[in-house]
Homo-oligomer: A and B are copies of this chain.
Amino acid sequence: MFAVIMAGGSGARFWPASRERLPKQFLAITGDRTMLEETLARAERIAPPDRTSIVLGRVHADLTKRTLSGKQVEVLVEPRGRNTAACIGLAALHAKRGAVRGVAEDEPMVVLPADHFIADVESFARTIRAAADVARDGAIITLGIAPNRPETGYGYINTGAVGGESLEQPYFRVRRFVEKPDYQTALGYLSGGDYLWNSGIFVFTARTILEEIKACMPELHEGLMEIERAINTPGYGAAVERVYGRIESISIDYGVIEKTTKPIYVFKADFGWSDVGSWQALYELRRAECDRQGNLSLGDSMIIDAKRNLVFSNTDRKVALLGVEDLVVVDTPDAVMVARLDRSQDVKKFADQYRGR
């Protein structure tokens, strides 16, 4: 098995801590390590570093290489973000060509977003290995999360018939994918029991996904073939630049997996998952670390009569709260933000206003 970590996120939701040049995966928000470091550690439970690829944007290449601190992880640089279809296609191509050491195109590859939180790494590794066994025969495996709230910001997977059994649990055929639903629909999904959140974690072989890209996205496939011919030649960089200049920006879900004719299954993941999509999500995730008044302090704070606040600082400045409730206060070298926690999905509006700084 080998692992592909997708680290191309732009990180507007954690403004002002995250920026274009320092997106969420490079922040230590879920623990002492950055989310990318945590994802790398998780990937090591499945595949050794020299059978792991990271795909990322050029602007983050140096930062990522510092994170790797000498580990033999393959770094694949995209000249611009073109969503997950291109990203996964590029990683599969390199696997097929043996650029990832010792990997054959019939070995399962697990695709991991770099900026998700997973609580139970042991359970995670077990689920991935079980999924890999099924993927080896040419199936596409998605990981689904049992919803615990009527979330309108995620894609959903509608489960169909039982596809088989693994780890003494059934796994299911995918009936259909649903893009972000409205609130009433999400509420129905929550009570229905046959809808799962699409975690964005996939398992398939490089051969399977490249065949399906060929079938569903022929223009992307043609571009990948052009890149393949340039691998290990001086023209590689120019070929990638050329192809990324013309291909569509589309997710692997929408571009390939929703259209495939291959067998496609969903494994229920039970390992404690969050995409940590907002400051509020981070607060909920780390609630156990709050003080008695419900304040979560990720930084140097002084708190008087304040309740249920999140303080995040990546400076050595003091953050003082007096009498306030239900806020997120973020302190960075060039900007400070004070927002209501329940408005934290709107934080990206600041990122838009502040672009380039």
Q: Is the C-beta of A130 less than 8 angstroms from some C-beta in chain B?
A: no
Question: How many chain A residues have a CB neighbour from B under 8 Å?
Answer: 34
Q: Which residues of B contact A16 (CB under 8 A)?
A: 318, 320
8 A Cβ contacts from A319-350 to B? 319-324, 327, 329, 331, 333-340, 342-344, 346-347, 349-350
The listed residue (B317, B327, B333, B344) touching A338 by CB distance below 8 A is B327
A15 and B344 alpha carbons, distance in the complex (Å): 28
Selected from B15, B336, B346, the residue in CB contact (under 8 A) with A319 is B336
Known A304-B349, A304-B350, A350-B304; contact A323-B343, beta-carbon cutoff 8 A = yes
- Known contacts A323-B346, A349-B304; A336/B339 CB under 8 A: no
Known contacts A305-B343, A343-B305: A322-B336 contact under CB 8 Å:
no
Tell me which residues across on chain B come within 8 A of A327, comparing CB atoms.
324, 338
Residue of B nearest to A15 (CB): B320
Is A161 an interface residue, CB under 8 A from the partner? no
Assembly CA distance A344 to B322 (angstroms)? 8
**Does A353 interact with chain B (Cβ within 8 Å)?**
yes
Bound-complex Cα distance A353 to B300 (A): 13
B354 touches A335 (CB 8 A): no
Knowing A302-B353, A302-B354, the reply to whether A322 touches B335 (Cβ < 8 A) is no
**Inter-subunit contact A335/B318 (CB<8 Å):** yes
- Are A329 and B318 closer than 8 Å at their CB atoms? no
Contacts of A317 on B, CB cut-off 8 Å?
333-336
Complex formed: what's the CA distance from A354 to B322 in Å?
14
B residues near A337, Cβ cutoff 8 Å: 319-322
In the complex with contacts A346-B304, A350-B302, A339-B321 CB distance below 8 A: yes
Contact of B305 with A350 in the complex, beta carbons under 8 Å: no
A320 to B354, CA, bound (A): 10
Chain B residue nearest to A344 (CB atoms) is B322
In the complex the two chains form, is B336's CB within 8 Å of A329's CB? yes
**Bound CA–CA A222/B335 (angstroms):** 55
Residues of B within 8 A of A319 (CB): 335-338
Q: Which residue of B lies closest to A318 (CB)?
A: B335
**Distance (Å) between the CB of A327 and the closest chain B CB?**
7
Known: A16-B320, A317-B335, A320-B350; 4 extra A-B contacts, CB below 8 A, are A302-B350, A318-B334, A322-B338, A329-B336
Q: 6 closest A-B pairs (Cβ-Cβ)? A: A322-B339, A323-B343, A323-B340, A318-B335, A320-B337, A320-B350
Q: List 15 interface pairs A-B (beta carbons < 8 Å), by A numbering.
A: A16-B318, A304-B349, A304-B350, A305-B346, A318-B334, A318-B335, A318-B357, A320-B354, A322-B338, A322-B340, A322-B347, A323-B342, A324-B340, A329-B338, A331-B336
Residues of A within 8 A of B (CB): 15-16, 302, 304-305, 317-324, 327, 329, 331, 333-340, 342-344, 346-347, 349-350, 353-354, 357
